Amino acid sequence: MAKHLIKVASVAPKLNKDSAVVVVLDDKNRKLSINQNLIQLGITSEHDLTKLGAKNAADAITKIPGPNGSVIVLLGGFESGNLDAIRYAGGTAGRSLSDFRSIYLDISVQNETEAAALLEGYAIGHYSFDAYKTGKNKQPAQNVTLLTKLKIKPATLTRIEILSSAVHDTRNLVSMPANDLYPQSFVSEVNKLVRGAKLAVTVLDEKKLASGGFGGLVGVGKGSVRPPRLVKIEYKPSGAKFKLALVGKGITYDTGGLSLKPAASMLGMKYDMTGAATVLNAIIAIARLKVKVHATAYLCLAENMPSGTATRPGDVIKVRNGKTIEVTNTDAEGRLVLADGLSLASEAYPDLIVDVATLTGAQRVALGARYAGLMGDEAAVNKVLKAAQAAGELAWHMPMPEELRTLMNSDIADLQNAKVGNTAGGMLFGAIFLREFIGRKSANSSETIPWAHLDIAGPADNDGSGYGYIPKGASGSYVRTLISIAEQNAK
Ligand code: BES
Ligand code: ZN
Ligand code: ZN
């Protein structure tokens, strides 16, 4: 794990061979100009930055020799006034400079918000997962200093620490291989991570799940020797008025079950618990930031394995809200565990339910690896879009075509979990299925609880190379969107 300590200073440091100074490029009239910061570092107008290979583009980093053995880093893509570009450029720096003990960001920011975006990007981007690399996990912490005359509140730096830890802890959990991370050990990780936060954790084990009517979790988990768990984590600050429920798909490994996945599609299915890791770390951050909302996270944890005790295609299960489901495809397991999670979340009558899931391969086909598919009620979807925008994360509103509902009719049960042989609108089908488990606003209301569904099958995993503050591998995306949802609804 790459560690760092973020600071702010107004005076230029004494540079040495362990330090790097990061300077942004100006390209007035499409020509890279030597700015004041560079002149102070001994770069004169005789230097031609273009010939040195510098480019003022997103993700462009050029290193040149600096004073006393230090390195000057020419960072592209910084745009004054554009917070997303600033966060992204900070991330590019954070991702690329792990070799240095001290980093000085010699970048003029206009105000505290820009400073925060730059440092947030750096902190989120400065990450590596070395837990399984021999001898690599004992690197000393890096000192990161923003050089500015602005006054930066300590709370701003604390907030950056909270946000970046939430993203890093999500990536760490998602990256853990499934031989070490399974429902029970996930619960141990939850207990470690919530330490010190004002959160109440309740764990339902396989016995409680069976007696409580959680047939989705039981049905998916019963093919594995590692039994399922449902973890409820509650944050209830006094005086909070808004009740937010976050539900996460936590399949610690998805083989497909008896509807077994082919080898190439199975690889990487340790990522199938990203939704649970996301809601977990979001609620921890919400508590640490003391956001005034009553928030509850529900982690639906199971391992989807084929075995003599596994659910068979054609079996019928009954989930928490009483509906029966014919399991036509055991690989459509996420919607079964979420059926239980959404039903339980509804029982507390929250003002908003948001679920996060690596639900369908169709999501990735439709939107690629950078956009989440967002579905649900208009008002809830708009809240999530607004929050995603504040966080600088990408989500695209997808429709829920009513005609897909009829494809869910089963000959034997209330519903079937997949229409075998029909893949049309697979992501949308998933959302329409989940809608069946959203309860009413109150015992005697006819309206359903506002609900939004984020299908993150694509963006959970960055299978390309790193960009901005996103490394290769687990992205940790949408944790900050969930935190923003809480912040935007705090009252
Ligand atoms: N975990 C997968 C979805 C997935 C696929 C996530 C690729 C990330 C990358 C999910 O459980 C699944 O297998 N869904 C099926 C549903 C189908 C059987 C209706 C799918 O998308 O093929
Ligand atoms: Zn599956
Ligand atoms: Zn799955």
pLDDT tens digits along 332-346: 999 999 999 999 999
Q: Ligand 1, closest atom to CA 358?
A: 6
Residue 74 Cα, ligand 3 centroid: separation in angstroms?
Answer: 42
Cβ–ligand 1 distance for 90 under 6 Å, the answer no
Amino acid at the residue 276: A
Mean pLDDT, range 398-422, rounded to an integer: 97
Label the pairing between strands 102-105 and 19-24: parallel
Residue of 17, 16, 21 lying closest to 145 (CA atoms): 21
What number does the ligand 1 atom closest to the CA of 426 have?
A: 19
Please state, in angstroms and rounded to a whole number, the distance separating the CA atoms of residues 411 and 413. 6
- H/E run at residue 395: strand 395-397
Does 360 sit in the ligand 1 pocket, CB within 6 Å?
A: yes
304 pocket-lining for ligand 1 (C-beta < 6 Å): no
Which residue puts its alpha carbon closest to atom 8 of ligand 1? Answer: 457
CA of 407 to the centre of ligand 1 (A): 18
Query: Does residue 31 surpass a pLDDT of 90?
Result: no
Q: In this predicted model, what pLDDT tens digit does every residue of 104-142 receive, in sequence order?
A: 999 999 999 999 999 999 999 999 999 999 987 677 899
CB 395 within 8 A of CB 374: yes
Among candidate residues 222, 288, 335, 383, the one labeled active-site is 335
What is the model's pLDDT at position 417? 98
Annotation says 63 is catalytic: no
Tokens for 468, please give them. Answer: 């901005």
Q: Looking at ligand 1, which atom is closest to the CA of residue 417?
A: 19
CA of 358 to the centre of ligand 3 (A): 6
Q: Please tell me the predicted confidence (pLDDT) of residue 25.
A: 84
- Report, as an integer, the average pLDDT of 403-427: 97
User: For residue 256, what are the contacts with CB-CB under 8 A and spacing of at least 6?
Assistant: 265, 266, 304, 306, 330, 331
157 lines ligand 1 (CB under 6 A): no
Of the ligands numbered here, which is closest to the C-alpha atom of 257?
A: 2
Cβ of 333 below 6 Å from ligand 1: yes
How many angstroms is it from 225 CA to the middle of ligand 3?
Answer: 18
Q: In the block, which residue shows the tokens 């996420």?
A: 334
Q: Which of 63, 58, 66, 56 is nearest to 92 (CA)?
A: 58
How many whole angstroms separate alpha carbon 127 and alpha carbon 95? 7
pLDDT in tens, 248-299: 999 999 999 999 999 999 999 999 999 999 999 999 999 999 999 999 999 9
pLDDT band, residue 46 (cuts 50/70/90): confident
Closest CA to 437 of 363, 365, 334, 303: 334
| pLDDT digits 0-9 by tens, 162-177 | 999 999 999 999 999 9
C-alpha 279 to ligand 3 mean position (Å): 17
Distance 299 CA to ligand 3 centre (A): 14
| Percentage of residues in the chain having pLDDT higher than 70 | 98
Inform me whether the pLDDT recorded for 50 exceeds 90.
no
Given the CA of residue 429, which atom of ligand 1 is nearest to it?
19
For strand 71-75 and strand 294-304, is the pairing parallel, antiparallel, or unpaired?
Answer: unpaired
Q: Is 405 one of the annotated active-site residues of the chain?
A: no
Neighbours of 157 (CB within 10 A): 19
pLDDT one-digit tens code per residue, 68-78: 999 999 999 99
Q: Is 70 in the pocket of ligand 1 (CB under 6 A)?
A: no
Q: Which residues contact 379 (CB under 8 A, 6 or more apart)?
A: 450
Residues 6+ apart with CB under 8 A from 119: 6, 90, 105, 144, 146, 157, 160
- Atom 13 of ligand 1, nearest CA residue: 331
- 1: pLDDT strictly greater than 80: no
The number of the ligand nearest the C-alpha atom of 268 reads: 1
Mutate to test the pocket of ligand 1, among 252, 331, 363 (most ligand atoms within 8 A of CB): 331
Single-letter code of the amino acid located at 134:
T
Structural tokens at position 36 = 């004041």
Which of 446 and 44 is assigned the larger pLDDT? 446
Per the residue annotation, which of 55, 101, 236, 261 is the catalytic one? 261
177-212 per-residue burial string, b: 16 or more CB within 10 A, e: under 16: ebeebbbbbbbebbeebbeeeebeeebbebeebbee
Mutate to test the pocket of ligand 1, among 360, 428, 453 (most ligand atoms within 8 A of CB): 360
Q: Which long-range contacts (CB under 8 A, 24 or more apart) does 149-153 make?
A: 149/10, 150/8, 150/109, 150/111, 150/112, 150/115, 151/112, 152/8, 152/112, 152/115, 152/116, 153/112
Judge contact between 371 and 394, C-beta under 8 A.
yes
Please, which pLDDT band fits residue 45 given cuts at 50, 70 and 90?
Answer: confident
Tell me the average pLDDT of the chain: 96
Q: Which atom of ligand 1 is nearest to the CA of 362?
A: 21
Cα(332) to ligand 2 centroid in Å equals: 5
Which one-letter amino acid corresponds to residue 348?
A
Reference 358, options 350, 346, 367; nearest CA is 367
Residue 137 has a pLDDT of 64
The closest of 281, 105, 134, 263 to 193, measured between CA atoms, is 281
Residue 36: predicted pLDDT: 74
Helix (H, G, I), strand (E, B), or coil: what is residue 3? coil
Q: Which atom of ligand 1 approaches the CA of 251 most closely?
A: 1
Tokens representing residue 336 in the block: 């079964």
- What is the token pair recorded at 460? 């959970």
Residue 28 confidence (pLDDT): 61
pLDDT at 81 over 80: yes
What are the DSSP E strand ranges found in 141-207? 142-147, 200-204
Q: How far apart are CA 277 and CA 168, in angstroms?
A: 11
Residue 270 Cβ contacting ligand 1 at under 6 Å: no
Residue 418, ligand 1, Cβ within 6 A: yes
Answer whether residue 30 shows pLDDT above 70: no
161 Cβ contact partners less than 8 Å away, ≥ 6 residues apart: 6, 123
C-alpha–C-alpha distance, residues 452 and 429, integer Å? 14
Ligand 1 pocket, 362 CB below 6 A? Answer: yes
C-alpha 267 chain-centroid distance: 20
Query: In this model, does residue 33 exceed pLDDT 80?
Result: no
Pocket flag, ligand 1, residue 220 (CB < 6 Å): no
